[in-house]
Amino acid sequence: MAAEQQQAGGSVWTRPQRPRREQPALSREQIVAAAMELLDAEGIDALSMRKLGTRLNAGATSMYSHVANKDELIELVVDEVYGEIATQDPAEASDWRTEVTTVAQSLRQAFLRHPWIASVLGQVGMSSLGPNLLRLSEQMIGALETAGFSLAEAERGMNTVSSYVVGLASTEAAWLTVLARSGQSQQEWVDAFWPAALQAVQAFPRLSRLYAAQSEGFDVDSNRVDSFSDGLECILDGLEARLRRAAE
């Protein structure tokens, strides 16, 4: 079995699918759903083919008829997360900024629902070939191209927005994971953070003024949402400026 897994290599999206029996005992959809449940409940450290097989009450043969190894399983669950993101037909979108904002917000929320994703993005192989991510990319590029960007510019715009959202959401997801492991509430964490932070930045006047202002009535959830929205607006303003210059 180990030799067979090694030969499979590459990506679940490029490996030819093994022939299925007429009545397979286990479907790929069942495997992915169970893996998502395990990851959401216990995190990435809990994921193993053995533990997943136990959860599904399935033997190794049933599992490996769909995924050659854990890396392929991770590719599948990551693409499943991308499948949760809301999109709109570019032809029906009245405003490209609204469409891109909707996708960006939905992408952030998907990452926060599944915070384990922050720790696996570097392990997903050819994730860009996943059907859900391909659908999302097509929709985003379509919205930007319909707005007047060239196809190449639309791709660059999509990549810029996606990089911002994935980077920030991954940081948020990682923090939420650490917070959950600590057993602290958000308020307990904030109460411990600000005195230490204010002490640490005393030698830095700008940071001192900034932290002092932010520490008064600080709300973690509102700050995260506001920071995300403001940063996204900066990117969209830049894209809109490029669009106006191209039309001049």
Spatial separation of the C-alpha atoms in residues 5 and 151, rounded to whole Å: 39
pLDDT at 18 (0 to 100): 61
SS3 of 77-91: HHHHHHCCCCCCCHH
pLDDT computed for residue 125 by the predictor: 66
What pLDDT is stored for residue 2 in this prediction?
Answer: 35
- Quote the CA–CA distance of 27 and 50 in Å, as a whole number: 17
CA–CA gap between residue 64 and residue 233 (Å, rounded): 45
Residues 3-22: tens digit of each pLDDT: 334 444 578 877 776 655 54
Residue position matching structure tokens 């650490």: 178
The full set of domains in the chain, from first to last, is 2-80 (1.10.10.60), 94-183+218-247 (1.10.357.10)
Q: What is the pTM of this model?
A: 0.83
Low-confidence residues in the chain, pLDDT < 70: 1-9, 17-25, 60-61, 89-93, 123-125
Pick from 147, 110, 134, 118: nearest CA to 236? 147
